[in-house]
Chains A and B, each alone.
Chain A
Amino acid sequence: MDYLLEALGIGISFPGVRALGRVDFRLRRGEIHALMGQNGAGKSTLLKILSGVYRPYEGRVLLRGQETRASSPTEAQRAGISTVHQELNLIPTLSVAENLFLGIQPLRAMRQIDWKKIHKEAEKVLSRLNLKIDVSEQLNSYSVAVQQLVAIARALLFSADVLILDEPTSSLDKEEVSNLFSVMRGLKADGLGIVFVTHFLDQMYEISDRATVLRNGELVGEFEVAKLSRIDLITAMVGEEVSARRAEEKFERRRVAASEPTPLLEVREATRFGAVAPFDLSFNRGEVLGFAGLLGSGRSEAARLIFGVDGLDRGEVRMDGHVIKLSSPHDAIAAGMGFCPEDRKTEGIIGALSVRENIILALQANRGIFNRLSRAEQENIAERFISSLSIKTPNGEQAVRNLSGGNQQKVIIARWLASNLRLLILDEPTRGIDVAAKTEIQKLILTLADEGLAVLFISSELDEVTRCCQRVAVWRDRRKIGELSGDDARVENIMETIARGREESGGENI
């Protein structure tokens, strides 16, 4: 069998981390090949190797049987491998036509750009994607879906044989997705090989021919999609040993969450158009509630609503039975909430500030400008949390960006513990950190709950959710599709719920 693209024995290490080890990936002509895996499974690392961003790496990449060593995205593109990233690399302020031809403009006499030809060619290449728009209009006057197609069209101009689409559907609505899919089918019929990365299982099943699954930087297997059941796919992504063994040993809880007449937090019909379908939630002191679901299922978006990061379009949030105003995180913090966001680097830590400053920041913000904690108090608090959470840092004055991921996470948790905290929201707190630190953080969460704190725990790792939580809300396709509690909150049940989806809705995008 001749393959269009063959990546054999690919491996790469970053300082201290083995990001990818001996992974094989084969793409045929005229197929759509899904690349599946959880966060940190190594998908984006593999894509970056294929598109020439990472060098050097172990193993070989063969394109049309010839070994290729592209050292930059541009070289890879010239060789015939084009990538359309999630953050589209286009110039929003230029016209559609120009975005297609930037850097490869056809010229007339006097090295003058041939605009007429550009507009004509642009219309032609877009019509191949069933797109009929005014190509002289500025790119950012069109929807993300159109911009996506423009990015794909640009890739086609480079006579791409291999098209890599990195989560192209994450911000598209249902119609736009089906339009994109028909474009993909057309390109497939033309003989292109398409690598498709998505977190939406339904979409994977709808469009892909084969799928390669990665987990923890290693290859789990290559599957014919038609013969792959949902439960097998999820097991492949999540890991078998997890579901079978470890999930059963729940952490012992010293104290069971008290059931009280008024719950600590109550969410009613909270909605954000295009992000989260209406959902209800209620929460007690000392409870650890899990949010389970794959990436893009709406779990993080829901958390951001509760914390006031994104505004509510509809619905309300009550704390102790009173409706709270949620116009910014400040309001949520004043009500006693804390939030550890999924993207630690860009939304969590203040990189250039010290560990001490990062720890006391939320407490200080709540106290206001003039009620400053003295240096001694700050050091006290910082020392206390550095030792109680065993944050590995030479001292409190180290800039937090120099710490490892797990320790940065602990700093953010410490930040909230130091302030007047009643409800802690953790979005993927153990992502990208090593196993020992993971267990540590899980135990920490339970200890906190025993002390009366309510914790909302979001994770892609189902065994982690079931070990820590008595109650699990299951999310899929931006909807809360169910709640499992007590003995029902087991990995198999969660996987089954996700796989089955909500019968009546069929797992659509909103």
Chain B
Amino acid sequence: MKLKARHIPILATMLVFILLYAAASFYFPYFFTLRVFVNLFIDNAFLGVVAVGMTFAVLSGGIDLSVGSVVACTGIVMSKLITQYGFNSLAVIAFVLLLGTAFGSVMGFFIACYDLPPFIVTLAGMFFARGASQIISLESIPLKSPLLNRVADFGIPLSDRVDFPFIAIVLVAAVAVGTFIAQCTKFGRNVYAIGGSEQSALMMGLPVRRTKIGIYALSGFFATLGGVIYTLYTFSGYSLSGIGLELDAIASVVIGGTLLSGGVGYLPGTLLGVLIQGVIQTFISFDGTLNSWWTKIIIGALLFVFILLQTWISKARAFRKS
């Protein structure tokens, strides 16, 4: 396949990931082991799943600020229903996924039907979900479910000592499903079209409203799924978890090569964006002398570089055409 301008951002992301990983392995040979690599997927599984939904919102030229609170709310509701009320674990998971999707659709309805800015509507959604989870419980609730214990312990053995555990499988599956929806369904292509030019999408007869509602429903679904994963990761629900998660998710999306103005990007890029953040974090925890704030500073710098790269590509294209 020929190299195309639109592939440059995702190739750059891949290059950054490889270089970072190589540099980290150079400093800490242990970095270059299967276990550390698999841990990247485990530790960032919830962020990755949330970022899949966020990618759809960003691709359409919108944003979803509610995801962090939705993660917290999911954990609280799940733990409460399972641990305190003793409901069936799987039924509860199905229920919260449905609830989260419905929540996203309501936000999508306000955005699509009344032309309210996504920023404001999902901000309200963020307040609502955070408030709701705090009303349900201010304390952390442990998750007690033998069934889910077994689910979380399940893993595909990769070597004698390393498994690819359930939550990492969910992450990979979420990215795969997301990629399929984005690349191979009419809905997915309509998302790209709306992000590219909403006016044209309307004139081409595409169902803009329906698609927009679908986008936020999908983002709600993935945020909830991320919440389920997070709960399986920590085995508790806490109303203050996931604060600022929306920011990490947006950063992953942008570093993954998706244009924040919409219309351009690939879902696997988002996964790479998540993994890059993971590498930086793991490196810093390996080092011990570096502090966690360097993560934020480096991610900010990476954001800057990627945004400049994107601006530069679109300018170069405009120049070449004239």
CB pair A91 B196 closer than 8 Å: yes
CB distance from A70 to the nearest CB of B (A): 12
CB pair A141 B206 closer than 8 Å: no
**Which one of B183, B192, B205 contacts A103 once the chains associate, using CB atoms below 8 Å?**
B205
In the complex, residue of chain A having the shortest beta-carbon distance to the beta carbon of B263: A93
A419 part of interface (Cβ distance < 8 Å): no
* CA of A102 to CA of B187, assembled, Å: 10
CB distance from A143 to the nearest CB of B (A): 7
Contact with A along B14-37 (1 / 0, CB 8 A): 000000000000000000000000
In the complex, residue of chain B having the shortest beta-carbon distance to the beta carbon of A107: B186
CB distance from B237 to the nearest CB of A (A): 35
Known A105-B186, A113-B185: A91·B317 in contact at CB below 8 Å? no
In the complex, residue of chain B having the shortest beta-carbon distance to the beta carbon of A85: B203
B144 part of interface (Cβ distance < 8 Å): no
- B-contacting residues, A86-116, CB 8 Å: 88-94, 98, 102-103, 105, 107, 111-113, 115
* CA of A125 to CA of B6, assembled, Å: 24
* CA of A140 to CA of B5, assembled, Å: 11
B204 part of interface (Cβ distance < 8 Å): yes
CB pair A93 B192 closer than 8 Å: yes
A496 part of interface (Cβ distance < 8 Å): no
**Which one of A72, A102, A103, A138 contacts B5 once the chains associate, using CB atoms below 8 Å?**
A138
* CA of A480 to CA of B227, assembled, Å: 68
* CA of A115 to CA of B204, assembled, Å: 19
Tally of A interface residues using CB under 8 Å: 28
Most buried by B among A85, A102, A136: A102
Interface SS of chain B: helix
Known A73-B205, A77-B205, A105-B189: A91·B321 in contact at CB below 8 Å? no
Contact with B along A61-95 (1 / 0, CB 8 A): 00000000000111001000000010011111110
Known A73-B205, A103-B206, A140-B317: A89·B5 in contact at CB below 8 Å? no
* CA of A140 to CA of B319, assembled, Å: 12
A137 part of interface (Cβ distance < 8 Å): yes
B149 part of interface (Cβ distance < 8 Å): no
CB pair B186 A91 closer than 8 Å: no
* CA of A72 to CA of B206, assembled, Å: 12
CB pair A91 B185 closer than 8 Å: no
CB distance from A118 to the nearest CB of B (A): 10
| B264: A residues at CB distance < 8 A | 93
* CA of A89 to CA of B196, assembled, Å: 11
B197 part of interface (Cβ distance < 8 Å): yes
CB pair B186 A94 closer than 8 Å: no
In the complex, residue of chain A having the shortest beta-carbon distance to the beta carbon of B193: A91
In the complex, residue of chain A having the shortest beta-carbon distance to the beta carbon of B262: A93
Most buried by B among A103, A107, A140: A103
* CA of A141 to CA of B264, assembled, Å: 14
B184 part of interface (Cβ distance < 8 Å): yes
Most buried by A among B5, B189, B190, B320: B189
| A94: B residues at CB distance < 8 A | 189, 192-193, 196, 263
| A115: B residues at CB distance < 8 A | 184
CB pair A90 B200 closer than 8 Å: yes
CB pair B321 A143 closer than 8 Å: yes
* CA of A138 to CA of B204, assembled, Å: 18
CB pair B184 A112 closer than 8 Å: yes
B4 part of interface (Cβ distance < 8 Å): yes
* CA of A113 to CA of B317, assembled, Å: 29
In the complex, residue of chain A having the shortest beta-carbon distance to the beta carbon of B202: A89
CB pair A91 B203 closer than 8 Å: no
Known A91-B192, A143-B321: A102·B204 in contact at CB below 8 Å? yes
CB distance from A50 to the nearest CB of B (A): 15
CB distance from A144 to the nearest CB of B (A): 8
| B204: A residues at CB distance < 8 A | 89-91, 102-103
B102 part of interface (Cβ distance < 8 Å): no
* CA of A284 to CA of B196, assembled, Å: 49
CB distance from B269 to the nearest CB of A (A): 15
CB pair A91 B263 closer than 8 Å: yes
* CA of A195 to CA of B186, assembled, Å: 32
CB pair B195 A138 closer than 8 Å: no
In the complex, residue of chain B having the shortest beta-carbon distance to the beta carbon of A75: B205
Contact with B along A115-135 (1 / 0, CB 8 A): 100000000000000000010
B201 part of interface (Cβ distance < 8 Å): yes
In the complex, residue of chain B having the shortest beta-carbon distance to the beta carbon of A111: B185
B199 part of interface (Cβ distance < 8 Å): yes
CB pair A73 B192 closer than 8 Å: no
| B185: A residues at CB distance < 8 A | 111-113
CB distance from B99 to the nearest CB of A (A): 26
**Which one of A91, A113, A137, A143 contacts B197 once the chains associate, using CB atoms below 8 Å?**
A91
* CA of A113 to CA of B187, assembled, Å: 10
CB pair A102 B321 closer than 8 Å: no
CB distance from A54 to the nearest CB of B (A): 15
**Which one of B184, B186, B195, B203 contacts A89 once the chains associate, using CB atoms below 8 Å?**
B203
Known A138-B4, A138-B5, A138-B6: A102·B206 in contact at CB below 8 Å? yes
* CA of A143 to CA of B321, assembled, Å: 7
CB distance from A48 to the nearest CB of B (A): 12
Most buried by B among A72, A136, A138: A138
| A102: B residues at CB distance < 8 A | 189-190, 193, 201, 204, 206
| A111: B residues at CB distance < 8 A | 185-186
Contact with B along A138-153 (1 / 0, CB 8 A): 1011010000000000
* CA of A205 to CA of B2, assembled, Å: 43
- Which B residues have a C-beta under 8 Å from some C-beta of A? 2, 4-6, 180, 183-186, 189-190, 192-193, 195-197, 199-201, 203-206, 259, 263-264, 317, 320-321
- 11 A–B contacts, CB within 8 A, in A order: A72-B205, A77-B205, A89-B204, A92-B196, A93-B264, A102-B189, A105-B186, A105-B189, A113-B189, A138-B6, A141-B320
Starting from the known contacts A92-B197, A113-B183, A140-B321, 9 additional A-B residue pairs (CB-CB under 8 Å) come to A72-B205, A88-B200, A91-B196, A93-B192, A93-B195, A94-B192, A94-B193, A103-B206, A143-B321
